[in-house]
Structure 1
Amino acid sequence: MCLGHESHPGNELVPSRYALRIGEIDVMVISDGAMPIAANILGTNVEPDARDAVLRDKFLPDPIDWGLNIIVVRSAGRTILVDSGVGSEMPDATRAGRLALRLEGAGIDPASVTDVVATHIHMDHIGGLIDQRLRSRLRPDLRVHVSGTDVEFFAAPDFSHNTFGGIQDVIRSSARKFLDAYRSELRTFDKEHEVAPGVVVTRTGGHTPGHSIVRVASGGERLTFAADALVPVGIECPEWQNAFDHEPEDATRVRVRLLREAAATGELFMASHLSFPSLGRVAVAGDAFRYVPAIWAY
């Protein structure tokens, strides 16, 4: 059943929110839906036959359902929205852009959001903020935290060295709308910033020049939201580059470093485009990583 944007959240027959606690911090994973992405954007540095064999082995179709995971974090009286989905920026993606609806279904009033972290300025991470279904309900004193490096880059982006799957125009136009709409609300940072106690955003670069991750830590527990540092098959094949990375070689180094850290700590680990709710842990044997999905706590 295909549900339209205006469906009541109580009518949806798919899981779209998952709550957990990291020590004393509440976290809710919310799905903005999914977009179909052509499989050939993955493994751009490997032979197509080898790439396709891996995808078949994992029963991944072409196109691949590209999940859109967002988190809402509550710490010390602050409510932090990490990314905002695609909004209306890709109208052909009829199963995405559902954040406003799903916040309602989760009982989260957009006016209660004190802070937003934009992990990077791509349309599927900032689109919700420029969609009136959500923007019109946000508070006037909202703080939007984003890497100053990304703000500088996307003010006049140079895409001449990358195809981005043919969506350069959408990336460029959504970035311009976001920067125009939130200029006064932006709180830029250089390397790292603590948004609230135990909630830290850190610039990694790679996927975009200012791409960032968010770590939530409390009571000896930790969750890393890796944003687009890895995409489907990125754990099992971290050397695979993809067409959406601005700096593919840097992105690979970031990906491997984050996976090694996650394997060493045993922390919960998730990313924007893995299958909802994408929570799991990373195991390592030699140079090979594997993903162990977390057990759902019913």
Structure 2
Amino acid sequence: METLTVGGVKIYWLQGGVTHMDGGAMFGVVPKPLWSRKYPVNEKNQIELRTDPLFFQYEGKNILIEAGIGNGKFDDKQKRNYGVHEESEIQKSLEALGLSTDDIDIVLMTHMHFDHACGLTKYENSELVSTFPNASIYTSEVEWNEMRNPNIRSGNTYWKQNWESIQHQVKTFKEEIEILPGIKMIHTGGHSDGHSIITLNLNGEKLIHMADIMPTHAHRNPLWVLAYDDYPMTSIYAKEKWINKAIDEDSWFIFYHDAHYRAVKWNNGGEVVEAVERKR
């Protein structure tokens, strides 16, 4: 379990499962000879994308960022299409820290696509129940509304089984919310209409989780956006704003999907100056 300590707060990457998605879709119009230099691709043209939630304790609260892909949510066809080679082991990860899913107080959901939200619910005796029954689950109002009323495109990623059992736990916001002092969720749109990023100011040291507008370190270029993005120009504008701001503030960039880096710091020249690599 990789960790990063910033501002006296220790962040853990839990085992949330893995997907393998089409590399062309993940890098949009960027030619393969360019993106494949920065991120490895397999013989099926798929890239490995972790779905590993971030856990930390702050202000007396147990906090998760994202929820993993859960267990038993995919049929064989979906496992094949999404390259799901392993599912969540969040319970085991928390047990290693002396905790259980019942101990989670807050779950921060940047958006509610299936690869982020499947872990919010689990099967008990063939019934879907909340994985984190005592948690407040935060997402933007726009995201929550579309989750429950998807359109012809987004219906493929907003699944009823991921929200019905947790709707009484969900708290929404419009543009920005400070969850605890120094922990903010900010609505950006782009990847989805309701997509948000998370900024952390932990005792004067800063981190940023840009979620799926920058899912891996290889997406640092503002123009390298996903074919999956519903509003790609919105993603580009948000990336230009927040990447530059974070670098100027000496922030750590932390990742949910990156299979190679858990966290990086860049300088203004685009060079990685510090990193937490994922152990294999």
What TM-score, normalized by structure 1, do the two folds share? 0.79
Report the CA distance shift for 1:69/1:182 in structure 2 as closer, same or farther (over 3 A).
same
Report the residue type matching 1:54 in the other structure. L
The question of whether the paired residues in 2 share the 8 Å contact of 1:128 and 1:135 is answered with no
Amino acid at match of 1:138: F
> Does structure 2 retain, via aligned residues, the 8 Å contact 1:262–1:281?
no
The 1-side partners of 2:211 and 2:97 are apart by 21
Distance 2:236 2:198 in 1: 18
Preserved contact between residue 231 and residue 273 of structure 1 (Cα < 8 Å): yes
Counterpart-to-counterpart distance in 2, 1:148 and 1:75: 25
What SS is found at the alignment partner of 2:145? helix
Q: Tell me which of 69, 90, 95 is aligned to 1:86.
A: 69
What is aligned with 1:55? 35
1:128-172 per-residue CA deviation (whole Å, 9 max, x = no partner) reads 011237956633x42111111101122222244xxxxxxx55413
Are 2:92 and 1:101 equivalent residues in the alignment?
yes
Letter in structure 2 aligned against 1:81: L
Q: Which whole-Å CA distance do the structure 2 matches of 1:259 and 1:142 have between them?
A: 30
Q: 1:199 aligns with which of 160, 170, 183?
A: 183
Tell me the distance in 1 between the aligned counterparts of 2:98 and 2:117: 21
User: Distance in 1 between the 2:48 and 2:10 partners?
Assistant: 28
Question: 1:55–1:44: structure 2 CA closer, same or farther, 3 Å change rule?
Answer: closer
Partners of 1:45 and 1:28 in 2: how far apart? 34
Check 1:228–1:281 CA distance in 2 against 1; reply closer, same or farther (3 A cut): same
- Which residue is equivalent to 1:268? 252
- 2:103 corresponds to: 112
Contact 1:229 1:271 in 2 (8 A): no
Q: How does 1:65-84 map to 2 (within 5 A)?
A: 65-84=48-67
Residue aligning to 2:114? 123
In the alignment, the residues of structure 2 paired with residue 59 and residue 111 of structure 1 have an alpha-carbon distance, to the nearest angstrom, of: 36
CA drift of 1:73 comes to: 2.2
1:150 partner letter: E
Whole-angstrom distance in 1 between the partners of 2:54 and 2:149: 29
- 1:234 paired residue among 219, 240, 247: 219
Q: 2:17–2:70: 8 Å Cα contact kept in structure 1?
A: no
Displacement, 1:111?
1.3
The reply to whether residue 171 of structure 1 matches residue 157 of structure 2 is: yes
SS at match of 1:37: strand
| Structure-2 residue corresponding to 1:294 | 275
CA distance in 2, matches of 1:22, 1:255: 23
Give the distance between the partners of 1:43 and 1:137, measured in 2 at CA.
Answer: 32
Distance in 1, Cα, partners of 2:39 & 2:130: 40
Runs of 4+ residues deviating >6 angstroms: none
Rounded Cα–Cα distance in structure 2 between residues aligned with 1:277 and 1:31? 14
SS in 2 for 1:57: helix
Task: Give the aligned partner of residue 10 of structure 1.
Answer: none
**Matched length:** 262
Q: Which runs of 5+ in 1 are unaligned?
A: 1-16, 161-167
Q: Give aligned-pair identity as a percent.
A: 21
How many Å separate the matches in 2 of 1:179 and 1:94?
A: 24
> 2:135 matched to which residue of 1?
142
SS in 1 for 2:197: strand
Partners of 2:276 and 2:254 lie apart in 1 by 14
Native 8 Å contact 1:199 1:216 kept in 2? yes
> What CA distance in whole angstroms lies between the structure 2 residues aligned with 1:135 and 1:180?
9
Deviation at 1:207, TM superposition (A): 1.0
One-letter amino acid of the structure 1 residue matched with residue 137 of structure 2: V
Give the partner amino acid of 2:132.
L
Given that residues 39 and 47 in structure 2 are in contact (C-alpha distance below 8 angstroms), is that contact kept between their aligned partners in structure 1?
no
